[in-house]
Amino acid sequence: MLALVSPALLVILLLIVLPVGWLAWQSIYHDGFTLENYRRVFTEDIYWRSFALTFEISLAVTVIALLLGYPVAYLANSVPRGWSILILSLVVLPFWTSVLVRAYAWLALLQRTGVINQFLRYLEVISEPLALVHNTFGTVVATVHILLPFMVLPLYATMQKIPGDLMQAGASLGASPSLTFVRVFLPLSLPGVLAGCTMVFVLCLGFYITPELLGGGRTVMVSMLVSRNVELYNQFGAASAVAVVLLLSVLVIFFVVSRFISLDRVLGQR
């Protein structure tokens, strides 16, 4: 058994454990041990602002993705199999398109001379183009779109396991469809909700392309701080410290979530 998993373990060791260890090392060692990089992360305004903004955006994206994704998963779960395959394919299809391409597509839709603004002006709903992009709004819209499959799939997988006869039992006892949903279906689907929310939230924390392309330079998420520290200021140590803090926050989130549901449920989407 060990022989079978050892190639995988080796890959993980070489490509994940070693680089991450090296990263962490860089953040505390520069001509001697130093906590200067961490002092900066925890005391300087720009880092705080970036972390706060990143958590706000991730929260907004998670809530919106849940509100959009739950009905889709519910629908896919309640229609005949052929239809559910179609719905899920539509959810997964954009997933195979490059994130970069989708971000640019949103730019074409949202910008001042973009499709949406031109259409609204044609209808004379607005006289001046709306500022839909180059800000946090545009970033959130595109990020929700990109992360939606990570919400829908765990939800659908959980809903699939809820026995349909429970609903019938509820109805036979005289409960209205909305009451059976609230009292029976919704509670049983909560593990899926938690799994989907964790996936989306954690992935969003590290998002780079959408805020970079659609944020107008003002929406500086943590991943952009990392890249700026390297590209602009050549401070590998500072960049590593930011990355380590982000990694630790993700681990804390996973730890907290694991108190409520098993982690393979989040990661393996069982």
Partner 1 sequence: MTAKRNSGFCYALLGASISAIALGTAANAAEQITFVSQGGAYQQAQTVAILDPSAKKLGITINQDSIPDAWPAIKTQVGSGKPIWDVVDTPTGYCLRGGEQGLIEKLDFSKIPNAAAMPEAYRSPYSVSYEFYSSVLAYSQKTFPKDAPNSWVDFWDVKKFPGRRALRNHPIATLEAALMADGVAPDKLYPLDVDRAFKKLEEIKPHITVWWTSGAQSAQLLNDGEVDMEMAWNGRVSAVAKEGAKVSFTYNQGILQSTSLCILKGAPNLGTAVKFINEAVDPVHQANLPLNIDYGPGNPRAFETNVIKPERAAQLPSEPANAAKQALMSYAWWSSPAGEAAEKRWASFMQK
Query: For binding to partner 1 (CB under 8 A), which residues are involved?
Result: 44-46, 49-50, 107, 111-113, 131, 134, 212-213, 216-218, 220, 228, 230-234
Cβ of residue 79: shortest distance to partner 1, in angstroms?
Answer: 41
Which residue in 158, 252, 237 sits closest to 205, CA to CA? 252
Cβ of residue 222: shortest distance to partner 1, in angstroms?
Answer: 12
32, two tokens: 């001697």
* CB nearer partner 1, residue 165 or residue 231: 231
Spatial separation of the C-alpha atoms in residues 27 and 214, rounded to whole Å: 30
Cβ of residue 240: shortest distance to partner 1, in angstroms?
Answer: 14
* CB nearer partner 1, residue 102 or residue 228: 228
Which residue in 145, 142, 58 sits closest to 95, CA to CA? 145
86 phi and psi angles, rounded to 5 deg: -60, -45
36, two tokens: 């200067």
Cβ of residue 19: shortest distance to partner 1, in angstroms?
Answer: 14
> Partners of 29 in the beta sheet?
33
* CB nearer partner 1, residue 175 or residue 230: 230
* CB nearer partner 1, residue 49 or residue 270: 49
User: At how many degrees (to 10) do helices 99-110 and 136-160 cross?
Assistant: 130
